[in-house]
Amino acid sequence: MTANCHTHGDAESAPARAGHSHLPRGEEVAAVSDGRLLWAVVLNQLLTVVEVAAGVLSGSVALLSDAAHNFNDANALLIAYVARRVSRRRSNARYTFGYRRAEMIGAMINLTLLAVIGGYLVYEAVWRFIEPEPILSSLMAGASVLALGVDAGTALLLWSMSHGSLNVRAAFVHNLVDALGSLAVLIGAGAIHWLGWLWIDAALTLLIAAYILWQVRQMLPMAIHVLMEGAPSGLDLDLLVDRVAALDGVVGVHHVHVWELDEQHRALEAHVVVPHSHAADLEEIKRRVKARLAEEFAIRHSTVELEFDVGANRCGELHHDCHRSAP
């Protein structure tokens, strides 16, 4: 027999839920200036266009690879900006969980495009080793100096914001890496101009392309994992089941499903088995289950269905995904 207690740990509104994230964003992110973030996006996108044009005219593949890396970071900032705006929209009848995964969809598009660009840059770099081409080192140097200036300007825009948001702090660190890449291209331009080392352009391209593909390798599986509703990284499902089953009045847990709405919000649904002798304590048992999920596993959106114990083997007979039943 199943108690009539299929409840949701999502009674509060979507904006209220966001303030209970297990990562320190929420209200702090809301205080970050959208205008500054948008200016950082515009500056970096303009720089990408300039670097691509300069790379084509100068013949420097290293400059094109630096443009590709900058394009990735500019898009990451744009995704963060759009996601923040979209995430403020309330959930509705069509999107009952709200719009939190907009950022993941944008990230998937961006990373897929970046993987293609990275592969093309590796191809071009290899051919430059085989058949070196003349390079206008002065144009290459001028574009890299401009890139350094934009990186510095973006860093200034993001510096004060980086203290209140992990997202912006990560963007700030990426911007510093961009500056190092631009500096490397500038040094390469000097080596080509004074030493005639045409091979260094291809070498820098391979290094930057390798870093781009490494970023894709790190982030793409994470985005896919969230979109596939995989269990949160680092979550010990067996431990979760054991900790819930150890609560007073709980004799078993089955049909456990845990997933991520986005990088900051976890959700769970599960059937919790209670003995008939605790029929009068259903609400208290449910409260304890939700409290343990929130405090120990950062799961604040939970759907818990309470069932009366109908025998130790009942769970195994009916449900292939029974994690824990009464002994």
Token pair belonging to 159: 């510096």
The whole-number pLDDT of residue 20 equals: 33
- Which CATH homologous superfamily contains domain 32-227? Cation efflux protein transmembrane domain (1.20.1510.10)
pLDDT of residue 219: 84
Name the CA radius of gyration of the chain, rounded: 26
pLDDT tens digit sequence for 134-147: 899 999 999 999 99
Reported confidence tier of residue 311, pLDDT bands at 50, 70, 90: low
pTM above 0.75, yes or no: no
Residues of the chain with CATH 3.30.70.1350: 7-13+232-324
How high is the pLDDT of residue 171? 63
Please determine, for residue 6, whether its predicted confidence score (pLDDT) is greater than 60. Answer: no
Q: Which two tokens stand for residue 223?
A: 């985005």
Average pLDDT over residues 192-212: 91
Query: Could you give the residue range(s) of every CATH 1.20.1510.10 domain in the chain?
Result: 32-227
Contacts of 12 (CB under 8 A, 6+ apart): none
Look at 96 and 306; give whichever has higher pLDDT: 306
| Confidence check: pLDDT of 1 > 50 | no
What pLDDT, on a 0 to 100 scale, did the predictor assign at position 255? 94
Mean pLDDT over all residues of the chain?
A: 79
Which is more confidently placed, 324 or 89?
89
Q: Which CATH number fits domain 7-13+232-324: 3.40.1010.10, 3.40.50.300, 3.30.70.1350, 2.60.40.180?
A: 3.30.70.1350
Which DSSP helix (H) or strand (E) runs through 64? Answer: helix 61-87
Any alpha helices (H) in 132-230, and if so which ranges? 137-159, 166-195, 199-227
Task: Record the tokens describing residue 274, joined without a space.
Answer: 């209670």
What is residue 55's predicted lDDT score, i.e. its pLDDT?
92
For residue range 144-197, list pLDDT tens digits in order: 999 988 887 777 777 766 554 555 566 666 677 778 788 889 999 999 999 999
- For 21-25, 81-85, 115-119, 120-124, which range has the lowest pLDDT when averaged over its residues? 21-25
